[in-house]
A and B are shown apart, each in its own frame.
Chain A
């Protein structure tokens, strides 16, 4: 009879298969129409990873220059990332069973980058105030990292907030954010983030009127680690592009510098409460399995016990093995996989007028990558500023005509 009521538990357990990520290869290959369809299908399925798929869809639309659509997806995903209300069933299932049964909300670095991209798209839509609000939100989200020394080390958020403040006509706020950007960058570089602690684009801020932000390479992915997959570890395969060179009207203008090292941000999110829970579950799983095996062995093969005791040992051993099988210690490895490896920036004073900007993405040897270059015509006004965001994707498509504040 016990089998009857244990059957649904087994069924539930078997039904909770691990998360199957959609392919992001088409996105990085620059086949954005196909990638968009993949993400749209997954968004429609709404299978606990809606926020993740909405962010990946938004990245895809953003890369196509469809800024209004991208903004709404980034915005909606960003709002949903801040909804923490969970049912008892969801909490219980995530703690007792597979962690990836809970709704995906993202790690602090993913939440902060959602805000960064919401802001960059707001810039493209001519809304510097919404852009600045987004960058300020990124600061708050980065501060959710559990380790104090890595709180507020996302220099990019402060630097972009400085540009947005200036676009809003608030030079005082801009100076304050730039000062915070310097501190954050020095802190991150001191803790091991790639590239300079004192980027030239900070020094160039006051005189620069054009900022080119580049999302370069391929961001880290979470994979299971530890003896039973109880750890979520990051694996990086950053891709071929590592930096970008900027040319204006055929004249070399300079190179980008890293302001956000995404694998560093991901790896320094700090020890999470759920990491401890999973480690505990892994120990419990191993202990209950070992106890089950011993009891089953004694029950089936032991000759020193009475038949009644042996039967009880078999039942108890089977129960322990079943509990061990039902408890999942596997880490939640869902992560935003269309993020870049680094986000870099180049700032310069470019004379007003219509200009042709070319961005060449280069490999580690400094060689330009064929098929990655982008050319954009921009209109620079005498008193305005302009922020342009580009991605290092293969098979680049033309992006819409210039944006200006």
Chain B
């Protein structure tokens, strides 16, 4: 009896000792909570936001009723929050969603600095005969511009309590009339408490 009790204690101690340092590494669904914690924009937020904005924009009746395919480009995401962000990730995902799932309703123009430099360089080479080209085209002008802003409200309370409310707002502006054709937003809130070992 005493022997078995000692063995069980031994195993319990080993289990406790190994519990906190068990290695674990595996793929998870980016839409699910990864249990790591945090307080900012998560992979699930980026994916949901991009999908929601792209679908809502494509379903806009005003744009759908236009003759031909409206042209738009994505200008940027201005960070007005109290947290730095990786804006390229959000914008590129929205752009990809519109291009992939736009069903031919939109013409998305690539106005990124790197792409414009590459376009100008290639056009120049073609026109100078340095490289062969199938056809010469005009650079397309845009009908609309998609812009966004990020804002946060951050609060700090006693006992290590904190909260952060995030709002990503997007809008589509008519580049001739300045009319705000479409707008939508995505928001979420984090509440946390700093544990005693970090206070």
The chain A residues found within 8 Å of chain B, CB to CB, are 1-2, 4-5, 8-9, 12, 75, 78-79, 82-87, 89-91, 93-95, 99, 102, 105, 115, 118-119, 122, 127, 129-130, 132-134, 136-137, 139-140, 143-144, 146, 168, 272-274, 277
Within the complex, what minimum Cβ distance (angstroms) separates A72 from chain B?
Answer: 8
Q: In the complex, which of the residues A12, A122, A146 has the most CB atoms of chain B within 10 Å of its own CB atom? A: A12
CB distance from B40 to the nearest CB of A (A): 6
- Tell yes or no: B131 within 8 A of A by CB: no
> Number of contact residues on B: which range applies?
35 or more
Establish whether residues A9 and B87, one from each chain, have CB atoms under 8 Å apart when the complex forms.
no
A130 touches B84 (CB 8 A): yes
From B14-22, B46-54, B136-144, give the one contacting chain A: B14-22
| B3→A1 contact, CB < 8 A | yes
- Shortest beta-carbon distance, B84 to chain A, in Å? 5
Q: Are B79 and A93 in contact (CB under 8 A)?
A: no
Decide: A83 and B197 in contact? CB cutoff 8 A.
no
Are B9 and A93 in touch, CB under 8 angstroms?
A: no
A4: chain B residues within 8 A (beta carbon): 6, 10
Are A9 and B13 neighbours in the complex by a CB distance under 8 Å? yes
Q: Is B85 an interface residue (CB 8 A)?
A: yes
Query: How far in angstroms is the closest Cβ of chain A from B181?
Result: 24
Q: How far is the CB of B122 from chain A (nearest CB, A)?
A: 25
Least distance between A146 CB and chain B CB atoms (Å): 7
Q: Identify the closest chain B residue to A143 (Cβ).
A: B156
B155 CB, nearest partner CB in chain A, Å: 9
B169: Cβ under 8 A from any A Cβ: no
Could you tell me the distance in whole angstroms from the C-beta of A253 to the nearest C-beta in chain B? 31
A127 cross-chain contacts in B, Cβ below 8 A: 79
Residue contact A84 to B195, C-beta cutoff 8 Å: yes
B115 within 8 A of A: no
Per-residue CB contact flags for chain B residues 1-14 toward chain A (1 = under 8 Å, else 0) read 01100100110011
* B75 within 8 Å of A (CB atoms): no
Determine the chain A residues whose CB is within 8 A of the CB of B120 once the complex forms.
none
Which residues on the A side are within 8 Å of B79 (C-beta)? 127, 129-130, 132-133
Chain A contacts of B84 at CB under 8 A? 75, 78, 115, 118-119, 122, 130, 133-134, 137
A224 to B84, CA, bound (A): 34
B36 within 8 Å of A by Cβ?
yes
Partner of A133, one of B13, B16, B85, B196: B85
Chain B residues with Cβ under 8 A from A2's Cβ? 6
Which residues of chain B are within 8 angstroms of A1 by Cβ–Cβ distance?
A: 2-3, 6
CB distance A93 to B20 under 8 Å? yes
Complex Cα spacing A137 to B150, Å: 14
Known: A89-B20, A105-B198, A133-B85. 12 other contacts (CB 8 A): A75-B86, A78-B84, A84-B194, A115-B84, A129-B78, A133-B80, A133-B83, A137-B82, A144-B156, A168-B78, A273-B199, A274-B196
Contacts of B97 in A (CB 8 A): none
Give A52 Cβ to nearest chain B Cβ, in Å. 14
User: Does more than half of chain B's interface fall in helix, strand or loop, or is it mixed?
Assistant: mixed
A84, B82: Cβ atoms under 8 Å? no
CA distance A140 to B192 in the complex (A): 14
Q: Which residues of B contact A91 (CB under 8 A)?
A: 195-197
List the A side residues contacting B78 at CB < 8 Å: 129, 168
**Residue of A85, A105, A118, A136 touching B82 (CB-CB under 8 A):** A136
Q: Are B199 and A146 in contact (CB under 8 A)?
A: yes
A137 near B83 with CB under 8 A, answer: yes
Contact B82 A86, beta carbon cutoff 8 Å = no
Residues in B neighbouring A144, C-beta threshold 8 A: 156, 194
A232 and B53 CA atoms in complex are apart in Å by: 50
Inter-chain CA distance A274–B160, complex, in Å, is 13
Q: Which residue of A lies closest to B199 (CB)?
A: A273
Give Cα A221 to B40, complex, Å: 30
Shortest Cβ distance from A87 into B: residue: B20
Q: How far is the CB of A311 from chain B (nearest CB, A)?
A: 17
A272 touching B199, Cβ below 8 Å:
yes
Instruction: Decide: B6 and A5 in contact? CB cutoff 8 A.
Output: yes
Contact yes or no, A12 B86, CB < 8 A: no
Using CB atoms, name the residue of chain B closest to A91. Answer: B197
Q: Which chain B positions have C-beta within 8 A of A89?
A: 16, 19-20
Task: Report whether B17 and A12 are in contact in the complex, using a CB–CB cutoff of 8 Å.
Answer: yes
Q: Assess the B40–A130 pair: CB atoms within 8 A.
A: no
- Is the CB of B37 closer than 8 A to any CB of chain A? yes
How far in angstroms is the closest Cβ of chain A from B157? 11
Instruction: Report Cα–Cα, A188/B85, bound state, in Å.
Output: 30
Residues of B within 8 A of A274 (CB): 196-199
Task: Name the residue of chain B whose CB is nearest to the CB of A274.
Answer: B197
Contact A94 B87 (CB under 8 A): no
Contact B80–A129 (Cβ < 8 Å): yes
Given A9-B13, A130-B84, CB of A84 within 8 Å of CB of B154: no
Shortest distance between the CB of B177 and any CB in chain A (Å)? 24
Listed A/B pairs (20) with beta-carbon separation below 8 Å: A1-B3, A2-B6, A4-B10, A9-B13, A78-B84, A79-B38, A82-B39, A83-B38, A86-B195, A86-B198, A89-B19, A90-B197, A102-B197, A129-B78, A129-B79, A133-B85, A136-B82, A140-B154, A144-B156, A168-B78
CB distance from A74 to the nearest CB of B (A): 9
User: Is B189 in the interface zone, CB < 8 Å from A?
Assistant: no
Contacts of B69 in A (CB 8 A): none
Which residues of chain B are near A139, meaning CB under 8 Å? Answer: 82
Given contacts A4-B10, A9-B13, contact A83 B37 (CB under 8 A): yes
Task: State whether the Cβ of B127 lies closer than 8 Å to any Cβ in chain A.
Answer: no
Assembled-state Cα–Cα distance A277/B195 (Å): 13
Contact (Cβ within 8 A) A5 B13: yes
